[in-house]
Copies of this chain bind each other. A is one copy, B any other.
Amino acid sequence: MKYEYMFTLSGVISHVCIQDEVPSIDTLIEDQNRRSLLVCDVNTERFACAVAGNTGAALCVLGAGEAAKNWASIETILRAARSAGLGRDGLLIGIGGGVISDMTAFAASVYMRGVAVALVSTTLLGMVDAAVGGKTGFDLFDIKNLVGTFYPASRVYMPVSSLASLPAREWKSGMAELIKTAILDTEDKNGEFLGLLASLGPTRTTEASDTLVECIARAVRIKGRIVEADPKETGAERIMLNLGHTFAHALESSVGLGQLSHGEAVAWGIARACDLGLALGITPSERAAAILALLRSFDYELAAPYPLGNITLFMNALSSDKKKKAGTLNFVVPSTVGTELVSGKRIEPALLARIVGVS
C-alpha cells in the first residue's frame, strides 16, 4: 500500500509518501554528487543505517527525547553539516520522530541561511503531526518550541514498517494527535473517521494494519490541506490544529517538559476542550460523549486537575501561552462538524477554573 501527496507551502512544494519501508539515500539526495547529512537519535539510528546502506553517508546521532530538543543538539547538527562539507546545495535528512523532524528542519532553515531538508518520519506522532506543515523548532527557557521557523521539507517519507517497533507509550502519544485530526475534519459529517479510529481498538498490533495506514493517510491529507491554506498560521485555518493544545502545552510545562508524552497531554487537553465546548453550548453533547469515549478507550488520563500537576504552575503556564493574541487566550473546541475558535474573552475566569479543575 502506498499513498502520495503533494502540498505547496509558501511556494515550496512538499512531497509526502506513505510506504512500507524506509527510502534509500539515493532516492533522497536525487543527485549522486549532492552532499548530505543524516540526522537521527539513538533510537532511530538503525533506520538511518538502513537509509544509508553501504554508501558511507555522514551520520549525526543525537540524544533521544524532549530533553535533547535544545540548542546544543542544533549546534551538533550544524557542526556535523560543516564537517560533511555541506554547501548551500546540501541536504539535511532527519530520520526519527517529531523531535528529530523539528530540529533537523530548524537546522536546515538556518545553516548558511537555508539548505534543503527531507524527513523520514518513523513514529506515529511524527507522521500525523510534526513531519507535515513546515513548523520547526527547539525548546528554550523550558518553553516548548520557543525558537523556530516555518520551513517545509521538500520530501517527507513515512515508512509504516517502522511503527512495529514503536514503544507503547509513543504509540499512544501519536494516537492522540490522530484523534485530534479526525475531530477537526470538516468533511467528516458522519463521524466516519472517528469510527475508523475506534475500530482500531486500544491494542496495537505489531504490524501496521491497512486501517491504521488509511487513518494516517487521511490525517496527512487533512493536515496538508489546512497548512496549505494557512502556511504561517496568520489566517483562520491553522489555529484549528491547536485543538487541545492550549491546555496541553500548559500541562506539559507545569509537570516539567518531557514528563508526559505530548499525546498524553493532548488527549487531556481535548477532554478539557470538550468540557469547555459543552459549557459554552458549542459542542453537542453526543459529539462530546463520542470523543470522550474514544479517548477513554485508549486509556488516556482525563481527570481534571491532572493528577501529576501543580495547579499554580499550570495556571501560570496557561496565561503565558505563545499563541495569545492581543493578550487574550484562544481555545479551539469541537463543534457539530469540525471545530470552532473561541476567544478567551467569551470565557468567565470561574468557568475556565472549573474546566481545568481548580475549583
- A-side residues, CB < 8 A to B, are 33, 71, 75, 78-79, 82, 87-89, 109-114, 135-137, 140-141, 143, 145-150, 232-233, 322-327
Q: Which residue of B lies closest to A324 (CB)?
A: B87
B147 and A87 contact, CB distance less than 8 A: no
B110 and A75 contact, CB distance less than 8 A: no
A90 → B minimal CB distance (Å): 11
A174 → B minimal CB distance (Å): 23
Q: Which residues of B contact A324 (CB under 8 A)?
A: 87
- Complex Cα distance, B82 from A140, in Å, reads 10
The answer, among B75, B141, B323, for a CB contact under 8 Å with A82, is: B141
B149 and A137 contact, CB distance less than 8 A: no
A149-B113 contact in complex given A87-B324, A326-B89, C-beta closer than 8 Å: yes
A80 → B minimal CB distance (Å): 11
B71 and A326 contact, CB distance less than 8 A: no
Most buried by B among A87, A233, A324: A87
A105 → B minimal CB distance (Å): 12
Q: Which residues of B contact A323 (CB under 8 A)?
A: 88
A110 and B150 contact, CB distance less than 8 A: no
Q: Which residues of B contact A148 (CB under 8 A)?
A: 110, 112-113
A147 and B89 contact, CB distance less than 8 A: no
Q: Which residues of B contact A87 (CB under 8 A)?
A: 322, 324-325, 327
The answer, among B71, B109, B325, for a CB contact under 8 Å with A149, is: B109
A110-B326 contact in complex given A71-B71, A82-B141, A140-B78, C-beta closer than 8 Å: no
When A and B form their complex, which 10 residue pairs have the shortest distance between CB atoms, in order from nearest? A113-B148, A110-B147, A87-B324, A112-B322, A113-B150, A110-B149, A113-B149, A82-B141, A110-B148, A78-B140
Q: Which residues of B contact A109 (CB under 8 A)?
A: 149
Q: What is the total number of copies of this protein in its complex? A: 2
A13 → B minimal CB distance (Å): 15
- Complex Cα distance, B81 from A248, in Å, reads 23
A326-B33 contact in complex given A113-B150, A148-B112, A150-B113, C-beta closer than 8 Å: yes
A89-B143 contact in complex given A110-B110, A137-B113, A149-B114, C-beta closer than 8 Å: no
The answer, among B82, B114, B325, for a CB contact under 8 Å with A143, is: B82
Q: Which residues of B contact A89 (CB under 8 A)?
A: 325-326
Q: Which residue of B lies closest to A134 (CB)?
A: B113
B322 and A147 contact, CB distance less than 8 A: no
Q: Which residues of B contact A114 (CB under 8 A)?
A: 149-150, 232
The 20 listed contacts between A and B (C-beta, < 8 Å) are A71-B71, A75-B140, A78-B140, A78-B141, A78-B147, A82-B141, A87-B322, A87-B325, A88-B322, A88-B323, A88-B325, A89-B325, A110-B149, A112-B148, A112-B322, A113-B135, A113-B232, A114-B150, A114-B232, A149-B149
A125 → B minimal CB distance (Å): 19
- Complex Cα distance, B88 from A323, in Å, reads 7
- Complex Cα distance, B326 from A149, in Å, reads 27
- Complex Cα distance, B148 from A78, in Å, reads 12
A111-B326 contact in complex given A140-B78, A141-B82, C-beta closer than 8 Å: no
